[in-house]
Structure 1
Amino acid sequence: MKKQKLLWLLCPLVFILLFFIFIRPSSTHQSTWADFEEDWANCTSIVVTKTASQDGSLMTTHSCDGGYEFRLKVVPARTAKPGEMRPIMKGGGHGAERPQAVQVGEIPEVSQTYARFDIAYSFMNEKQLAIGETTFGGRRELYNPQGKFDIMELQRIVLERCTTAREAIELIGQLVEKYGYGDMGECLTFIDKKEAWVFEIMGSGPLETGAIWAARRVPEGEVFVSANRSRIGELHLDDPNNYLASKNVFSYAQKKGWWSPDSGEPFRFNKIYAPSESIGSRRREWRVLSTLAPSLKLDPWQVDYPFSVKPDKKVSLQDLMALHRDYYQGTEFDLSQGLAAGPFNNPNRFSTRVRPPKGHIGWERPISIFRCSYCMIAQTRDWLPDWIGGLVWFAEDDPKTSCFVPFYCGITKVPEAYQIGRRDKFDRRSAWWAFDFVSNWANLRFADMVKDIRQAASDFETTFFNLQPVVEKRALSLYQDDPETCRRYLTKYSNEMAQRVVDEWWALADYLIVKYNDGYINLGPRRRAPGYPKWWLDAVGYGQKKIINR
């Protein structure tokens, strides 16, 4: 009898132990599925192939839409001694005020690494290899907390070791097969000097070391978007020039009963391993593809969109900047319109614990979102030396109230203002806080303030575009004589321009405080009170309550 009681006591304890070992996300894991679903996903990435772009460059983007590390640094190239090991770091990536990455293992170091940019999701190295990222979750049962690698560390490693997209994909495949993948379903958009690839990866369950992944090359002349759901469908592995996948990609699905070759149904990677009809993802896919290829007349309520499309006209850098500042302006989903936008056309919608009924949508999820940590647009150009050809346009915080500044991939540092800051302490030395403050202040009277903000951003960005041919001509001349002199020149230029923008943004913040203080427009010939628009006053019942005298 005592043994039976003891057994009844032990069974729940064993179950809880197994749950924490195999199912519950580890403390180093960067997010949970609950967080992922709550946030309605955290990134958007766009890819433009070489012959689809206006200037012949390849481009990929990444808006890091959540509470992530915004401090930007350049990690220098490094020479290692024979037998030296590189630590595997896991977790972190959410800023100085949050738990940091911890070492969970090590791998042999290579003799020579490449310099790279470092941030939450590292995005480019000195060899013109660039990466965008979005999380799509995938089946929960595929998550393995014991896997050594998370996606952030994989990005760091391939940027340190690889020069091409294909090489990076193959290296990730080798690493996760040996050491395991311990993160949610992720999409990486790779570009090098010639090709663009989409790579999607998930774990292989709590009992197996490894991963399930697939990669597809973006067809030349086309554009692609990832918005937090898996986009790779059918796999044609007999065409390795355009498709790659893990060894277990078919067998694992068969073993789990998720697909059978005898069913007559085609094998679709996304439908099998990460089924999703998220309207927040679909709407962003529609917005990007329909903006770049309006002739397709894509339905905004469509469940599935083409993997990639041919744009109606060549895509420019400015087109991608505009898309990352987009909140469906001019469409039926325009977030600056309607009662929820308030009297001053504010497109921002903060999180709410009230859920819409099943089958209904709450707030629309735009491409540009207030909680963005940073946004980048990477360009690769094979007609220039790597240090000049690789270029990142970087904006701290929300792109619609920020400014893109140029950082060449050959630079050795960024301004200190971009390297510091934390969310739990306001800091006027920090670049991120300059842009975040302006973004938050604009919520008070968005329709008016955003005009001032966009003018400031446009002035700077237009200047950068106009200076670019001159700067790169000078850089190329220096490079031909002495590459290191070229590198110093580009570092000086990028740093001076970036710091100038930060200084101006703090000045802009002070200007907006004064100009819009107390609901007035305080600058100009005289102070004026613009008040509220009549449509909004009518909607909230202004003037409809009758006075009663007793």
Structure 2
Amino acid sequence: MWRRAMAMALRLLLLPLATRGFDIDGCTSIVVNADAMQDGSAVTSHANDCADCDWRVAYVPAQDHPEGSERIIYDAVWSQYPRLVDPSRSKSYQPAMGITSTAVLGRIPQVKHTYALWEASYGLMNEHGVGMGESTCSAFLVGTGLSQGGTALFSIGNLMAIALERCKTARCAIQTMGDLGAFYGFYGEDPGMGGAGEAVTLVDQSGEAWVFHICGGVPSSEKNASWATQRGALWAAQRVPSGHVAVVANSMIIRQIDFEDKENFMLHPGLKDLLQEAKLWNGRGQLDWQKAVSPNMETFSYFPGLAPIPMYSTLRMWGVYRQAAPSAKIRATKDLGSFPFSVPVDGKVSILDVMNWFRTHYEGTEFDMRYGSLAGPFQSPNRAEGGDGAKAVPGQFARATSIPRTSYTVLLQSGIKQPRVWFAPDASASSIFVPFFASALDANAQGRFDVAAYGTGSMKSFSFDGARSAWWAHDFVANWMDLSYQNMSEQYVYPKVQRLQREVYHETQEAIDHAESSLDLAERASQIQRKVTEEWWRLAEQMVVRYNDHFYNFPESDPTNVGSIGYPAFWLEMIGYDQEFYRPHWFQRSPWVPKMLPDAIKEQLGTPPEFLAEALTWALSPSPPTLCLLLLLPLTSLMTYLVGYRRGLQAAQQDIYCQLSA
């Protein structure tokens, strides 16, 4: 028997080594109309939640091309470092890590002149202030790429890059992406229906903001089929209304389409016919793009092989709307269809507000990810995704806008004097956004930025003696925080994020006011980028000392003392800690919030309705242990939980993250 037990133990130890990596990139994009912003800018964004992406910022210069030139289409689904090998496109794209070339999928006719742009895993912003964010979405129509034996040439990364190379407006970019996808074919970056669609959010110097959706097309073997040259993709785009904010969180959000409203909608010309041919719409009544094109997230398995996760999209959307527009009373629900395309903000917001929308983990609400068993004793909001465990035990946990596998987050701000990219490496909750100006892309500045901090390095290699890149500084702090998340975040990291971010914002404004040329502005931005990187490495070094071995070591207030942090009382209460814990102990889910949590937190978290039903069943069970525990639970506690849940539904209008970070 002992041999069998040893074999089983060995198998369990080796199991994680054989588990395929979590390979789905689910990103969040928030887009804000100019009339909703205090400074009159239009803002879009992209949290690139990618576990293995090459996060480097690259400068792609403007170029003139001879008549008859072709534009090479590389494999843009490959995202690891180096994501592209093409020194003619950017000096950053040199061979590295044993990769000497990038797969060529095809070629299309080149235009005479292409514009300069900032680029990371996806195109960011060009010299004319066109900015783009991205979010992969589910769709019924699945395209198959050339590299997988299909006929589709384009994934979303290439469409975005070409649109930024060729367009001065968001409308031009939408038309370019739609036409290229429809003619040459479009395929998703992730497998199957889960990644068959895409959303691109766009802003430009006119202050317009748009949401563009695209998915696979409707192939036909008939030679004389209608729309014969435009069957490779279906697409639709809607303008964000004045004063509104919209959120794309891996789900299509365009709803009712008005085919006559050319000012606010741009559409595939054969959309009606091809949707009917695909039997996705009966042609009667108003077309609801979301319902016609995408599966129901309540029942659809977004991650292949895992259970449906209906709150994966809606909780993030609610998390933004509850802060931007509390009067809209958007509810946290599994029903994606109950969410509007966009909502008007309650009051004009700042770019610092938008940054903070990406940093929260629902602090101050009933979904606060710092509490509960998955948060562990040190109240970490980070969750480990994927793995065989999730396949064996179906379920879902809360999904925030800031997660550990965030490669970078960008805000693209246009419609103002100096359009800019705000770039934050790694998880946004513990990161600082720094500026990259569109004007620095011109021939004078030639894309000047701090290349050592933001343009070099890789997830595949780390050295304490090597280049001190911005990404590794932020990533190190984000990972180290899990040693004592609650203490570290409140004592050091969150306050520093807010203080330094405000400094960066004001220094950016001063640079704009005093710069005499694009080169001056680029130099000042480089200084800001270097300052943030150096400060974050100093913070990393400080955190190593301060939280070594789960103690609180040599703080500024008492530099000769080592203090204990220990397990919090509520955690010990929750797991039933007692004199018998020298043996392994196990615990089961309970409907009750630990009594040793502060009263304010207990009211905030409340008891969800499904737990009340479970609690009633538990309370009515005839077992003696249940009866004993019931005698210990005051009725006032139950009332507290009920009141707390009610208050949780009416969560604080301004996220408590900002209070913790003030």
Secondary structure in 2 aligned to 1:46? Answer: strand
The answer to whether residue 536 in structure 2 is matched with residue 534 in structure 1 is: no
Aligned residue among 164, 167, 170 for 1:162: 167
Task: State the distance in 1 between where 2:267 and 2:102 align.
Answer: 29
Contact kept, 8 Å, 1:46 with 1:61, in 2: the verdict is yes
The answer to whether residue 271 in structure 2 is matched with residue 249 in structure 1 is: yes
Task: State the distance in 2 between where 1:400 and 1:86 align.
Answer: 38
Secondary structure in 2 aligned to 1:373? Answer: strand
Contact kept, 8 Å, 1:373 with 1:396, in 2: the verdict is yes
- Superposition pairs for residues 441-480 of structure 1, below 5 Å? 441-451=480-490, 452-475=492-515, 478=516
Query: Which one-letter code corresponds to 1:377 in the other structure?
Result: L
Secondary structure in 1 aligned to 2:436? Answer: strand
Contact kept, 8 Å, 1:41 with 1:136, in 2: the verdict is no
Secondary structure in 2 aligned to 1:510? Answer: helix
The Cα of 1:89 is off from its aligned counterpart by 1.6
- Superposition pairs for residues 370-385 of structure 1, below 5 Å? 370-382=404-416, 384=417
The Cα of 1:41 is off from its aligned counterpart by 5.4
Secondary structure in 2 aligned to 1:43? Answer: coil
The aligned residue for residue 43 of structure 1 is 27
- Superposition pairs for residues 90-489 of structure 1, below 5 Å? 90-96=75-81, 101-139=102-140, 141-143=142-144, 145-183=150-188, 184-194=196-206, 195-205=208-218, 210-262=232-284, 265-277=285-297, 278-301=310-333, 303=335, 304=337, 305-352=339-386, 353-355=388-390, 361-382=395-416, 384=417, 389-411=418-440, 412-416=447-451, 417-427=453-463, 428-429=466-467, 430-451=469-490, 452-475=492-515, 478=516, 486-489=517-520
String of CA shifts for 1:78-105, please: whole Å, max 9, x gaps: 1222222221122344221677742222
Aligned residue-pair number: 496
Query: Which one-letter code corresponds to 1:196 in the other structure?
Result: A
The aligned residue for residue 4 of structure 2 is none
Query: Which one-letter code corresponds to 1:419 in the other structure?
Result: G
The Cα of 1:438 is off from its aligned counterpart by 1.1
Task: State the distance in 2 between where 1:404 and 1:141 align.
Answer: 36
Task: State the distance in 2 between where 1:309 and 1:502 align.
Answer: 36
String of CA shifts for 1:431-457, please: whole Å, max 9, x gaps: 211111111111111112223122332
The aligned residue for residue 301 of structure 2 is none
Aligned residue among 525, 546, 550 for 1:494: 525
Query: Which one-letter code corresponds to 1:299 in the other structure?
Result: R
The Cα of 1:62 is off from its aligned counterpart by 0.6
Q: Quick one: structure 1 residues 91 and 323, their matched pair in 2 at CA, closer, same or farther if it must change by over 3 Å? A: same
Contact kept, 8 Å, 2:378 with 2:485, in 1: the verdict is yes
The Cα of 1:314 is off from its aligned counterpart by 0.7
Contact kept, 8 Å, 1:62 with 1:376, in 2: the verdict is yes
The Cα of 1:196 is off from its aligned counterpart by 0.7
**Which structure 2 residue ranges, 5 or more long, are not aligned?**
1-19, 84-98, 189-195, 222-230, 298-309, 441-446, 584-662
The aligned residue for residue 550 of structure 2 is 519
The Cα of 1:290 is off from its aligned counterpart by 2.0
The Cα of 1:177 is off from its aligned counterpart by 2.8
The aligned residue for residue 9 of structure 1 is none
String of CA shifts for 1:221-255, please: whole Å, max 9, x gaps: 11111000011112112111111111231112211
Percentage of matched positions with identical amino acids: 35
Task: State the distance in 1 between where 2:272 and 2:581 align.
Answer: 71
Task: State the distance in 2 between where 1:179 and 1:169 align.
Answer: 15
Task: State the distance in 2 between where 1:462 and 1:421 align.
Answer: 27
The Cα of 1:126 is off from its aligned counterpart by 1.0
Query: Which one-letter code corresponds to 1:520 in the other structure?
Result: F
The Cα of 1:362 is off from its aligned counterpart by 1.8
Query: Which one-letter code corresponds to 1:469 in the other structure?
Result: Q
The Cα of 1:322 is off from its aligned counterpart by 0.9
Contact kept, 8 Å, 2:198 with 2:214, in 1: the verdict is yes
Query: Which one-letter code corresponds to 2:449 in the other structure?
Result: V
Task: State the distance in 2 between where 1:492 and 1:51 align.
Answer: 31
Q: Quick one: structure 1 residues 302 and 294, their matched pair in 2 at CA, closer, same or farther if it must change by over 3 Å? A: farther
The Cα of 1:43 is off from its aligned counterpart by 0.7
Task: State the distance in 2 between where 1:547 and 1:506 align.
Answer: 39
Task: State the distance in 2 between where 1:355 and 1:515 align.
Answer: 35
The Cα of 1:55 is off from its aligned counterpart by 1.2
Query: Which one-letter code corresponds to 1:502 in the other structure?
Result: T
Relative to the length of structure 1, the TM-score reads 0.85
Task: State the distance in 1 between where 2:115 and 2:170 align.
Answer: 15
Contact kept, 8 Å, 2:34 with 2:40, in 1: the verdict is yes
String of CA shifts for 1:386-413, please: whole Å, max 9, x gaps: xxx2111110000111111111112213
**Could you tell which deviates more after superposition, 57-66 or 295-304?**
295-304
Q: CA RMSD in A?
A: 2.3
Q: Quick one: structure 1 residues 218 and 363, their matched pair in 2 at CA, closer, same or farther if it must change by over 3 Å? A: same
The Cα of 1:111 is off from its aligned counterpart by 2.0
Task: State the distance in 1 between where 2:174 and 2:74 align.
Answer: 19
String of CA shifts for 1:493-547, please: whole Å, max 9, x gaps: 1111111211221121111001111111112321111212111112223224289
Contact kept, 8 Å, 2:409 with 2:426, in 1: the verdict is yes
String of CA shifts for 1:154-190, please: whole Å, max 9, x gaps: 1111111101010111111222233221323100001
The aligned residue for residue 482 of structure 1 is none
Aligned residue among 14, 35, 40 for 1:56: 40
Secondary structure in 1 aligned to 2:370? Answer: coil
Task: State the distance in 2 between where 1:273 and 1:547 align.
Answer: 56
Contact kept, 8 Å, 1:141 with 1:206, in 2: the verdict is no
Secondary structure in 1 aligned to 2:562? Answer: coil
